[in-house]
Structure 1
Amino acid sequence: MSSSLPPHIQSKMERALTMKDEDKLYRYNGVLYPTIMSPLENLQALENLEARPEDVMLVAYPKCGFNWMVAVLRKIMAAASGKKEESVMPPLMEFYGPEMLQRLDRAPSPRFLGTHMHPDNIPASFGDKKTKMLVIFRNPKDTAVSFYHFSNNNPVLPTCESWDKFYTEFMSGEVPWGSYFDHALAWEKRMDDPNVMIVTFEELKEDLCEGIRQISKFFDFSLTDEDVQTIAQESTFNAMKESSKHSHGQLGKVFFRKGEVGDWKNHFSETQSKEMDAEFEKRLAGTKLGAKLKYDLYCK
């Protein structure tokens, strides 16, 4: 493993290499989580996390652009505060153990937090304190393909022997952090919440500068036009992939694989494509989030 990874992450990766696939996931409140990175004690401790109104919260179903937006938000916060940008990515809240949560409790505001959790499982204090949440979504077909490759290249997750097997598990929600469609429907109910901003991966790929402007405004961060341009140039997918060699070590190529729109066409069979079309129609057709995902444009 690369020495550029933090020691505690590196040791977990090495431990994962000795584990059987069937031991790499466990179920908590009906949802699968990675045993090594999000052990039970972490999730139990997380339930008592005290949110703050000024926290900056990033939420995304896995492989919807979370790591990309971690980097973008870091740059936005650094530019707005005039402080030098830190280089180490903050882990997901699910990765915080009890000790880390104690340190987080003492950290100055604004704290930058992230999660892949279903909104109903995010600690209640975030709703109570009206913490602003930026939620990233991506079309489900590309999300599934990205998740498949991520699982097969990440030692802490089970290896899936075939795309067909992973597709079946994805459609039934038997993947880490649960069902894409369950997450989407839960956020659909929160579309009109003034403390929630939902942005799609595809929108950000189309016009990153505009995305940065909207995100900054949502969190009340003041940026100049020059700041926006600089952040956008430094945050293209290719730029992120290159810089991840330093920030993520050997895992950089795992977190930043292709970043394309439409890669699903290289994996889905016609039957699988039609099955997901039917599922989307059943679950999200006619909803605000369904319209925002532009399914017919990106998934047909």
Structure 2
Amino acid sequence: MAKQQNKLADEIEKALKKSKGVSLDDLLFFYQGIPYPAPVCSAETFQALEIFEARRDDMVVVSYPKSGANWLIQLLNDLVFTTSQTKHENVELPFIECGDPEKYQRMKQFPSPRILATHLHYDKLPKSIFKNKAKILVLFRNPKDTAASFFHFHNNTPDVPHYNSWDQFFSAFMNGKVSWGSYFDQAVAWNRHLEDENVMIITYEDLKENLASGVKQIAEFFGFSPTAEQIQSIAERGSFQAMRERSQEIYGSVGATLFRKGAVGDWKNLFTEAQSQEMDAKFKECLGGTKLEAHLKYDVYCKA
């Protein structure tokens, strides 16, 4: 699809233009105590989001930034189309908290099932998601690779404010002074809700290890019944490499950055030993001995 025909790519390009010339100091604005990227989020949009009406059959995807959400969104789009022939045209910024306040009126016209992606913390989600019992798929990625990917996104994406160094970004990440706030605050909150009705946790690392198995679990969670052949086809089309090859077609110039590398363990190219130990201590303090720690397999993926 040509760039000018891809409405999602056009929306992303508009957002990037708003970021041009914005300094790191001016990048973030705070809403209810959490920092968000000012070029794509606003208080007016958040206020409109509070009365957003979710549907029972909405497919809600929650993640911290740079945990693989755009990959998962494309997998879900393929799953919906494969099993129901419902094709979603990408016309809005992928995350419900990003964009203009009028987007929620436009979203009323979207066919079901809608895919609602968000980086919001648990207690910031629209209340109608819980009231209407929409199913929530929560995607996590180990914090070291998440931080590394977040840094590369900032410093490799045109017009997005750059950090002077990895050390500067690491300090901001550890203190929750990055867009969408603290990884650890979000993780602690979701750890309390792992066994809630209509909630499923999946990890980036598990999807990388066995994508077909992940697709099968996701399909069952959302009530789809693809055949074994359909699951395998979705997994083949949805491999990270396949997604990367189509990324510019879908997302425009930012596509190659969104699907930069997809490696597990890339954090080792950035972290110093002291930084690794600092994050180990923070993770243990926040999540040591929890069920989420077991899901994340921290000792497998975050130890050199």
TM range (shorter): over 0.9
Shift of 1:154: 3.2
Report if the CA contact (8 A) 1:55-1:109 is conserved: yes
> Equivalent residue for 2:45?
42
Please give the secondary structure, in 2, of the residue aligned with 1:26. strand
Aligned length: 299
User: What whole-Å deviation, never above 9, does each CA across 1:151-210 have from its counterpart, x for those lacking one?
Assistant: 223356431110011111111111100111111111100011121100000001111001
Distance 1:242 1:124 in 2: 37
Distance 2:47 2:299 in 1: 40
Equivalence map 1:28-107=2 (5 Å): 28-84=31-87, 86=89, 91-107=94-110
Q: Does 1:285 align with 2:275?
A: no
Q: For residues 136 and 222 of structure 1, what CA distance do their matches in structure 2 show?
A: 21
**Unaligned regions of 5+ residues in structure 2, if any?**
none
Q: 1:132 aligns with which of 132, 135, 141?
A: 135
Matched residue, 1:172: 175
Q: State the match for 1:151 in structure 2.
A: 154
Question: Once the 2 structures are TM-superposed, how far is the Cα of residue 267 of structure 1 from its aligned partner?
Answer: 0.6
Q: Does 1:189 align with 2:180?
A: no
Distance 2:229 2:50 in 1: 40
For 1:234-253, what per-residue CA distance to the aligned partner results, in whole angstroms no more than 9, with x for missing partners?
Answer: 11111000011211121111
Partners of 1:90 and 1:103 lie apart in 2 by 12
Q: What is the RMSD computed on CA atoms of the aligned residues?
A: 1.7
Rounded to whole Å, the distance in 2 between the matches of 1:299 and 1:129 is 37
TM-score using structure 1 length:
0.95
**Which of residues 199, 207, 210 is equivalent to 1:207?**
210
Deviation at 1:107, TM superposition (A): 2.7
TM-score (norm 2): 0.94
Q: Is the 8 A contact 2:11 2:91 kept in 1?
A: no
Q: Does 1:161 align with 2:176?
A: no
| Aligned-residue offset at 1:85 | 6.2
Distance change (3 Å), C-alpha of 1:258 and 1:105? same
Identity of aligned residues (%): 48
How far has the Cα of 1:277 moved from its partner? 0.7
Structure 1 match to 2:117: 114
Letter in 2 for 1:128: K
Does 2:301 match 1:298?
A: yes
Contact kept? 2:10, 2:252, Cα under 8 Å? no
> Quick check: 1:37–1:156 contact (8 Å CA) kept in 2?
no
Q: Structure 2 counterpart of 1:48, which letter?
A: I
In structure 2, distance between residues paired with 1:252 and 1:112: 19
2-structure distance, mates of 1:22, 1:79: 44
SS in structure 1 at match of 2:116: strand
1:93-144 Cα distance to aligned partner (Å, 9 max, x none)? 0114222111112333211111000011011111111110011001110000
Distance 2:213 2:282 in 1: 31
- Match among 215, 219, 229 for residue 216 of structure 1: 219
Deviates most, 81-90 or 143-152: 81-90
Counterpart-to-counterpart distance in 1, 2:226 and 2:92: 22
